[in-house]
Chain A
Amino acid sequence: MGSSHLRPPTAMAIRARLGFVILLLLFFSATLSAALYEDQVGLADWHHKYIGKVKHAVFHTQKTGRKRVVVSTEENVVASLDLRTGFIFWRNVLGKNDDIDQVDIALGKYVVTLSSGGSILRAWNLPDGQMIWESTLPVSTPSKSSLYVPANINVGKDNLILVFGGSSIHALSSMDGQIVWRKELSIDSLEIQQIFQPHDSDVINAVGFVGSSEFVVYHISYRTGEVMQQSKASFESGFCGEASLVFDNLVVALDASKSSLVSISFKNEVINFHQINLSDLVPDFSGKVTLLPLKFNGMLAIEIASSIHLLRVKGANELEFVEKISHPFAVSDALPLSKEQQAFAILQHEESKIHFKVKSDNDLRNEILKETIQMDSHRGNIEKVFINNYIRTDRTHGFRFLVVMEDHSLLLIQQGEIVWTREDGLASIVDSTTSELPVEKEGVSVAEVEHNLFEWLKGHLLKLKGTLMLASPDEVAAIQAIRLKSSEKNKMTRDHNGFRKLIIVLTRAGKVLALHTGDGRVVWSVLLPALRRSETCGNPFALRVYQWQVPHHHAMHENPSVLVVGRCGHGFDAPGIFSIVDSYTGKVQNSLMLEHSVSHIMPLPLTDSTEQRLHLIIDAKLQAHLYPKNSDSLKHFFNEMPNIYWYLVEVEKNKIRGYSLENKAELDTAEEYVFQAKELWSIVFPSESEKIAVTATRKMNEIVHTQAKVVADQDVMYKYISKNILFVATVAPKAAGEIGSATPEEALLYAYLIDTVSGRILHRVCHQGAQGPVHAVVSENWVVYHYFNLRAHRYEMSVIEIYDQSRADNKDVWKLVLGKHNLTVPVSSYSRPDVMVKSQSYFFTHSVKSMAVTATAKGITSKQLLIGTIGDQVLALDKRFLDPRRSVNPTQSEKEEGIIPLTDSLPIVPQSYITHSLQVEGLRSMVTIPAKLESTTLVFSYGVDLFFTRIAPSRTYDSLTEDFSYALLLITIVVLVAAIFVTWALSEKKELKEKWR
């Protein structure tokens, strides 16, 4: 009866196959992937580009086509911005020490930058930012230097670019950067103040001072550099070095006493001095005087006691007071409107308003333009303004202003409106921390989030199409757009996986901003009043930001807050500044000027009853101050005081000292929160052979899942886990310089593992022929450090793992069963450590800018090292590659354990760049934040740019990927269930038919 003939597939079989195929497809779509697919870029990561605080700006608007402004910044970026939107056309980040002195446009097509103290001149192509040429100038000592690009419009002629600094002038061809001539004005202590070219002449004039009392004028041939005429005269009461060119033959300078102006007229080798007392000019003259470098015909601006005085120069001995503008203000450079007319802008702050005034040199009493705009208070005062003009539709002059604010943000203002703003303070992040978002309130329904059901269904249908590869290119784009703006990741509430957080950053300008991890938008920002320049604090300096209050038990209704610590001045003994900011709203809750200095800040693992974290501030006199100052925190602190130890690394003295705290003998109530340091230990590195290069510690909040490590053949090793491990690397002083400055014999690198409670050196190892720069990262029981091996001519990475031998006996199950183990015995740093150290070194191709390690919520997931490469990318390297137990031929059990066969160098897998194709320009630091989902770490890296992503070092083993199509799963189930019923009905029918046969 067995049917051997082939039958066409039955309906049921087809359906079953279809189900199988659908399911297979489903699973392939959900396959866990390690690398990123092209269409996944931007789903979980974001990249923001910044440029930093603008120093110089040159507009390029004459030609038709794209209107742009070329800027150079304090982060050494030269960039071209779209004048209409503020977007970056292109940008180039110069090296860390390559400060840009000046920027200009030559020939109408090259951007010329002078950098490194006047020693490097580069030309960049204006449309795309490609470098055209670079020229290194032989400058003996880097000094104040400037650039002079002749503005005559004879394009096509090979115009010369003049660079002058100190006592020399270089002329370079603007076509190829060749030095055409070089003139060394061989007079000692000559400082050229101004260089200028009278209209339509081949002679350039250079004026300057020799010493403090002599004034010099040179007439130099523009083509050859030949000195055609030279005149000199001395002025008996001397100059202070500041001068301003008013006319082509008149310079006004400040005299040595800074109480009078000297007008210097020069014509045909005759130099005349004319002294004018400032008190005669300015009504109530007193205070410090500075001359503003305003390049303006017939005008002079002097700053006296933080207000600006405009003076008009009518002749060599005739000056006239025009106007006084009080602080805060900004004055732009002069802008030529026509051949005869010049204009300049004065901006004045008045509470939340900014008044814009544009004046021309024809009529100083009246303004060409007068506008007022409202400005947010969180941008601070105006710092700089650049002005540009355009022709309005009615043929009059219109002006646009590029404004740099106190918080380093950049604004373009036109017609009394802010056209665009750039939050460029974010290019100079000093420190960062994170804050959880508020818990989602009840009553927020899905409908509100998902707009409506139809949209939701449509979205899922599109996704389904995409998954089944049926979508057209337009639909693919639509899917991508839906994914990118999926409201889920940008919500302002806490999520189940802990992906949504606020990153709170502190910038160099003293501004605190909260960034949403979903898309990096600024949720709130505040320019801290305490960190703004004021009468009491002339030079504030932002230091760190810490979590101050993280309510989770007792104070649930309160918002979390962060503590911002600053210093009033750059010295270690400058008084400290404290500011507490609400993490959800950005409101400054408390702000105070400390009476003591801040040299070291220690967040303690203690909180008071309102969950404010206790902080110890160590001042320059080594006194510890406890914050918050309340009796409750003092009570908590006293309980733990005998167990508080701290250390200071004194890099200049080559010492590390450990301290404990003691009560002050005299218990003054005011001094209740002040404690004395007691030196417990010190480590002195011999200054002739070692110099501290780097120190690294474990992160305070790192969680280690297990102390035991099961190695091959089911043996157990116990990790030496101590929060008090300090890694120190010292290098030979001879080899402390750049790579290649020392021979391999001279170079030595010592690595130390130090217990910071007892000051014990747990391990000390010497690498011969190795030198810095050293970068290190410490986690759990291991440290990885990166250095240069001079013998092998390569970079190297070493790992040291440290194991606790005193617990090694606890392998016996019976001991554990009978409780005869010492695993629950408290560990004391005073016990003699019994440690075993394993180490290994590997070659590594890249040089490194910074290193970090991933951190997860429970510490179960394996670790990855994050390496900031020289190309400003972030590379994730599995810690397993840096296992000291790797051997050439691992045994079977070792292979099972996951030990990789030994290689001499560490692999760099292109897919493991977490920044994929992007560059985090000027990368300085990487911060890892554990998500609630154990497999996932959030990575925030910053430099000039910001980059955020989330990574799963062991892949997302505990969740489905975000683009997992639930709708498809649902539909499949429905289809299958329907199919079952249909076939069941069919079979019933058929059975019935069979029975009736």
Chain B
Amino acid sequence: MGEGWCRGRSLALFALVILLPIWIARGFRSDELLQDDEEFGLEGGRPAADPELPTNPFRPPIRRKPDLDLPSGSADSKSVQFSLEHNLGASEFSPAGTFTARLKSWSHGGQTLTKLRFSRNALTEEEKGAFERLLKEDGHYTIRVPSNVLNPSGEDYVVSSVRARCIPRESLDEHFVIHTDGVNIIAVNYGSAGACQYPRLLRYPAKWSFTSYTVLKNSEQAPRTPTFAEELLAGEDGLGEGVKPPEKSFWAKYWMPSLPAGSNYFYYYCCEKKIDRWLHHMPECCPKEALALFLLC
């Protein structure tokens, strides 16, 4: 059964591998909608499963937002900008890029960020040197964004770090997941686009430019507590399942005590009959057998 099962598995896996890019491609297009979808979801009660969760860690299913993708219409009154700052091992943070997002106002007064764009500043020679030093040291590359987007002058920053050696691949691949609550940024999950092998090996990128992936995340709604009508429960099984502890089946519960008892039973029924017969001039039952059974018991 094992092999058939395995074959079925591999087949399913094969299908999955074939279908995954297609699915991802679909996800690719629908991603932006998903953002909105999620927001509507707040009212519509979408299922709890996170549609943004990538199914394959090596292929970022999230839409790439290259630098050129920056909308020219950033003069939009509803758009907000906030800067990304980074720290390459020095004591000070320096600007490294700009996030642009649209501020969506809701009728009930709340505001949320949508349509996040990101543009990275090119690395200067000095920064490149600092980054190389970080790579050599296996140091931390730290970034920060203001926690309040509308009022970035505040002192509160959301900081995130990654070991510098996790970033280089072809280019410098980075991945942002920005957790927001209205116009506040709660946290930034910053890291490599895929896995970060351990032990981390020293490796330089072919291209000293960043390839950035950004995702904006709002909180999910918890699934509602299932509610059943009380009488339904009472009608079906009375005080039954709702109240009783998980009961195992009889055999699951009593297999151990029943083992010797069973052999005893066996002894009782066959051996006793045998002995009876034997006492009635049937010498084929051997007392040694009985002895063995006794010892078994």
Contact = CB atoms under 8 A, between A and B. Distances in A.
A972 to B, nearest CB: 9
A278 interface: no
A13 B275 contact: yes
A690 interface: yes
A909 B41 CA distance: 38
Contact of B219 (A19, A766, A841): A766
B57 A834 contact: yes
Interface string A654-679: 01010010000000000000000011
A905 interface: yes
Interface in B140-159: 140, 142, 147-148, 156-159
Interface residues of B, number: 87
Contacts of A32: 256
Central interface residue in A16, A768, A796, by most chain B CB within 10 Å: A16
A12 B181 contact: no
Given A10-B279, A761-B186, A832 B53 contact: no
Interface stretch (A243-251, A449-457, A681-689): A681-689
Nearest to A17: B268
Nearest to A906: B242
Contacts of B130: none
B51 interface: no
A809 B9 CA distance: 10
Interface stretch (A72-80, A136-144, A810-818): A810-818
B290 A903 contact: no
Nearest to B242: A903
B196 A759 contact: no
Interface string A791-832: 010001010000001100101111000000000011110111
A902 B187 CA distance: 35
Contacts, number: 236
B287 interface: yes
A461 interface: no
A987 B197 contact: no
A24 B261 contact: yes
A353 interface: no
B287 A987 contact: yes
B18 interface: no
A689 B219 CA distance: 13
A826 B222 contact: no
A657 B144 CA distance: 13
B57 A764 contact: no
B30 interface: no
Contacts of A13: 272, 275-276
Interface stretch (B73-81, B95-103, B118-126, B160-168): B160-168
Interface stretch (A52-60, A101-109, A187-195, A976-984): A976-984
B27 interface: no
Given A16-B268, A678-B140, A830 B225 contact: no
Contact of A813 (B2, B276, B278, B291): B2
B155 to A, nearest CB: 10
Given A31-B257, A660-B140, A840 B196 contact: no
Nearest to B137: A642
B6 interface: yes
Interface string A367-389: 00000000000000000000000
A898 B246 contact: yes
Contacts of B272: 12-13, 16
B246 A23 contact: no
B241 A976 contact: no
A830 B196 contact: yes
Contacts of B199: 826
Contacts of A23: 260-261, 264, 297
B156 A765 contact: no
Contacts of A811: 9
B294 interface: yes
B237 to A, nearest CB: 9
A758 interface: yes
B186 A27 contact: no
B290 A980 contact: yes
A185 interface: no
Contacts of B105: none
Contacts of A825: 197
Interface string B72-114: 0000000000000000000000000000000000000000000
Given A680-B142, A878-B246, A686 B53 contact: no
Contacts of A814: 6, 10
Contacts of A976: 294, 297
A682 B159 contact: yes
Interface in A749-800: 750-751, 754, 758-761, 764-768, 789, 792, 796, 798
Interface in A823-874: 825-828, 830-832, 834-837, 839-843
Interface stretch (B63-71, B203-211, B226-234): B226-234
Nearest to A817: B6
B35 to A, nearest CB: 16
B117 interface: no
Taking residues whose C-beta sits less than 8 angstroms from the other chain, chain A's interface range is 35 or more
Interface in A672-712: 678-686, 689-690
Nearest to A842: B225
A681 B191 CA distance: 12
A34 interface: yes
Given A679-B159, A681-B159, A904-B227, A760 B195 contact: no
A909 B242 CA distance: 10
Interface in A58-110: none
A880 interface: yes
B221 to A, nearest CB: 6
B161 A681 contact: yes
Interface in B238-285: 241-246, 256-257, 260-261, 264-265, 267-268, 271-272, 275-276, 278-281, 283
A796 B228 CA distance: 15
A835 B290 contact: no
A529 interface: no
B225 A843 contact: yes
B6 A796 contact: no
A681 B264 CA distance: 68
A12 B219 contact: no
Interface string A868-909: 000000000010100000001000000000101111110101
A30 interface: yes
B193 interface: yes
A20 interface: yes
A813 B6 contact: yes
A812 B5 CA distance: 9
Contact of B157 (A682, A842, A990): A682
Contacts of A679: 142, 159
A858 B200 CA distance: 32
Nearest to A887: B226
A837 B261 CA distance: 46
A678 B87 CA distance: 12
Given A836-B53, A977-B294, A690 B181 contact: yes
A834 B54 CA distance: 7
A632 interface: no
9 contacts: A19-B264, A27-B260, A34-B245, A758-B191, A761-B187, A837-B50, A888-B226, A907-B245, A912-B245
Interface of A: 3, 10, 12-13, 16-17, 19-20, 23-24, 27, 30-32, 34, 642, 655, 657, 660, 678-686, 689-690, 714, 750-751, 754, 758-761, 764-768, 789, 792, 796, 798, 805-806, 809, 811-814, 825-828, 830-832, 834-837, 839-843, 878, 880, 888, 898, 900-905, 907, 909, 911-912, 976-977, 980, 983-984, 987, 990-991, 994
- 7 cross-chain pairs, A with B, having the tightest CB-CB distances, nearest first: A686-B184, A830-B196, A684-B147, A831-B195, A680-B161, A841-B225, A760-B189
Given A826-B199, A903-B228, A980-B291, 18 more contacts: A19-B264, A655-B156, A681-B160, A682-B157, A682-B158, A684-B147, A684-B186, A758-B160, A760-B189, A761-B179, A766-B221, A766-B222, A792-B225, A792-B227, A841-B225, A900-B241, A980-B294, A987-B279
